[in-house]
Amino acid sequence: MTKKKLVMIGNGMAGVRAIEHLIKLAPDAYEITIFGAEPHPNYNRIMLSSVLAGGTDLKEIIINDWDWYKENRIQLHAGHTVNRIDTLHRKVFSEQGAVASYDALIIATGSNPFMLPLPGADKEGVIAFRDIQDCETMVKTSQQYKKAVVIGGGLLGLEAARGLLHLGMDVSVVHLNPYLMERQLDETAAKMLQRELETQGMTFLLNKNSESISGRKRVRALHFTDGSSVETDLIVMAVGIKPNISLAQSSGIEVNRGIIVNDFMETNVPGVYAVGECAEHRGIAYGLVAPLYEQGAVLAKHLAGVETSGYAGSVTSTKLKVSGVDVFSAGHFADPEGTRSMRYQDEVEGVYKKIVVREDRLIGAVMFGDTGDGPKLFSLMKSGESIKGREKELLLGFAPNAGVVSPEQRLAQLADDEIICGCNGVSKEAIKDAILTKNCNTVASVKACTKASGSCGGCKPLVEGLVQLYAGDAAGEPVKEGICGCTSLGRDEIIAEITRLGLGTVKEVMNVLGWDNPEGCSKCRPSLNYYLGMLFPESYVDEKESRFTNERYHANIQKDGTYSVVPRIYGGVTSPSELKKIAEIAEKFDVPMVKITGGQRIDLLGVKKEDLPRMWEELDMPSGYAYGKALRTVKTCVGSTFCRFGTQDSIGMGVRLEKEFERLSTPAKVKLAVSGCPRNCAEATIKDFGVVAIDGGWELHVGGNGGVHVRATELLCVVKTEDEVVEWAGAFIQYYRENAQWNERTSVWIERVGLDHVKKALEKKEERVALVSRIKLALSKQKDPWKEITSDSGLRKNFVPLPDAEAVTK
């Protein structure tokens, strides 16, 4: 049977959910092509705020990874923006040159953030909060600037503000209304939320109408119509979204606020459907994930030829964790005419509940702090059954004369058809079945089986409670997590087994130790490659194919597909002839940008991949390892060589350290710095190993980090001579190499094991000498990789193409 061609424009949550359903219902009916404007697989946009706040890694919010598309034979054009639909000949065209024919077309273009048309809104530092790139911009900004303003006191704005606080910025939230989240909360709950967020460090500017943005190239201040203003280095607009309908509109598809669809998600053009935030159904364009998933399920049935009554619209609820505070709201909670409401408030415990009743039926609710009864109340709203005589019980969570009901009892009393996870439509019964019949005894395993808690995460406490209720003593005993999902073995177990069994290659380790995925993944392969090289420096042959693209090419892939090249400049000291050579090569290869880095080096940005070998050959300079897990830089000040305050030769010390340890592989990147006096101009006290000159000696500092999670160093010891500095540096770095986990910075490692532990390990000279001898052995086996790259064999070995997914993940 010839498959029909299905094309989807958009790679977001709603559209891909429809494809998931369709594959289950009719796995062989369609040949599927998806166009996604972002260079990522399908990910959970709702969890971006958690990524920003440091609670989740970017990799953890991927819903369907690259392998899922391959396994389901889906052609994915990632990073392709569709700019034209030919509805007559049934073809779509992307700006990047891809063309696809279709029998059925799904438009799932989502929505765009609404940007206030303020004078100055085009300045650098004015962004939205909508995708991964916005998150990356906020992180980068926080590393250079301190003040941020978020315009919008709704859910998205508050989550953005919380994330910026986590990044160390001073955050002010500007809101047009007199209280926060007016669409989800009443004034009482909103004031309680504001007080909680103020204790976290947020500042609120309420009843403020933004007028203009000032600054030269970059934003410097936000001005209001009342004449006041606030200084800022970053403005995040989180004032709402608007359906992305421009492509549909230009293609002759009927639009209003959104793309107009019927109950089967059909547009006015035959064979063209719309789903998600871009669609408008019965005059409503939904922005919550649960209705969009309901639309996707209906569309999948329709395309699969399965009988369906169609989509009739959704009754929506909001159950969220706003910056650590549980919030629930549903229905008409703002005391509409002809209703009566009941409230319960406990300022000590931070709990507020309100229910709104019309003609003995529950029509609205707000809950703050304790949202455990949210699903039950929402179910009553949808059913429309009478609650006469039960109002107090529903408000309090227990019958007034029956005593307090525990959370466990509340969960047990919930009907099996109660929806626990509104985003994914998962009932209590489905979760119960997963726990009792499929041995899902953790939240993670329940999520994997049912998708409950897999979207916004607001229902996670309820899922945890059900796991405790039905799994009993077995609850909370998840399958032991190892260094990655391919194995349950941890770092120390793997190293012990490699040593005991004498395993010599990455493949051998995975085979002998029973990897679940025999090919490994982008997390375990590089770590095993490092552990083997650390354990057997004399005999182990580094597996270039187990390194990330950036490390193999000694160049960092950029978002436009070009590369960044950073040659090593020892201690930040160069010469006119070296600078001249770099400039001539930059001109020869048409390098778009040459930048001085924060590590006192020169970065050649925008290099084509095919030019990398010749560029390294003509530079004839060591690689700066700017993107590898290795010694990156040794930053120096001019010290006593020139500075009138300098007490020691910091330049000489820095160059010596860099030449001593260059090319050394480490668990994570390592940065050093040497300051010539306590004024610390080289910022040595936020480096992995920092050296500060004092009268008659050197202070040695360890465990610093100047990145997203800033950490000041701790004083390891004070020494008198340069030879002692090198000895202690070598001993410290080697002890870190032998004991830290893969991808664990020294700052995290020091916090985990404690400085006293490290001091004790290094206090005896014979121990330091032994460690230094082992690091010298490892260094003696390292080759000049930039010369490998430029050789013919190096080209074949190092330039093995890997999936684009790796570069994106990296």
643 annotated among ligand-binding-site residues: yes
Continuous H helices in 472-596: 491-501, 506-512, 524-535, 549-553, 576-588
Q: What is the 3-state secondary structure (H, E, C) of 63-127?
A: EECHHHHHHCCCEEEECCCEEEEECCCCEEEECCCCEEECCEEEECCCEEECCCCCCCCCCECEE
Alpha-carbon span 523 to 546, nearest angstrom: 10
Token digits of residue 641: 């060589």
Do 328 and 317 meet the contact criterion of CB atoms below 8 Å apart? yes
The count of residues in the chain is 810
Number of neighbouring beta carbons within 10 Å of residue 209: 9
Q: How far apart are CA 26 and CA 60, in angstroms?
A: 29
Q: Report yes or no: 546 and 532 within 8 Å, Cβ to Cβ.
A: no
Tokens representing 123? 């300045």
As separate numbers, helices (DSSP H) first and strands (DSSP E) second, the chain gives: 28, 38
User: How far is 225 from 166, CA to CA, in rounded Å?
Assistant: 30
Residue 612: closest CA among 630, 629, 632, 589:
589
CA distance 661 to 665: 9
DSSP 609-648: GGGHHHHHHHH---B--TTSSBEEEEEE--GGGT-TT--S
Give the span between the Cα atoms of 414 and 355, in whole angstroms. 18
* CA 496 to chain CA centroid, nearest Å: 32
The amino acid present at 151, given as its one-letter code, is I
756-768 in b/e form (b: 16+ CB < 10 A) is eebeebbeeeeeb
Q: What distances in angstroms separate CA 323 from CA 161, 348, 587, 745, one per listed residue? A: 9, 19, 49, 27
Is 677 one of the annotated binding-site residues?
yes
* Cα Dmax for the chain: 89
Could you give the 3-state DSSP secondary structure of residue 265?
Answer: coil
Element (H, E) at 426: strand 426-427
Cα distance between the two ends of the chain: 41
Please list the residues that pair with 171 across neighbouring strands. 148
CB 656 within 8 A of CB 674: no
Say if residue 423 carries a ligand binding annotation.
no
Under 8 Å CB-to-CB from 314, ≥6 apart: which residues?
286, 288, 290, 291, 294
**Is 421 annotated among the ligand-binding residues?**
no
Strands 221-224 and 210-214: antiparallel
Q: To which residue do tokens 């995460």 refer?
A: 457
Annotated binding-site positions for [4Fe-4S] cluster: 637, 643, 677, 681
Which residues sit in the known binding site for siroheme? 681
Binding-site residues: 637, 643, 677, 681
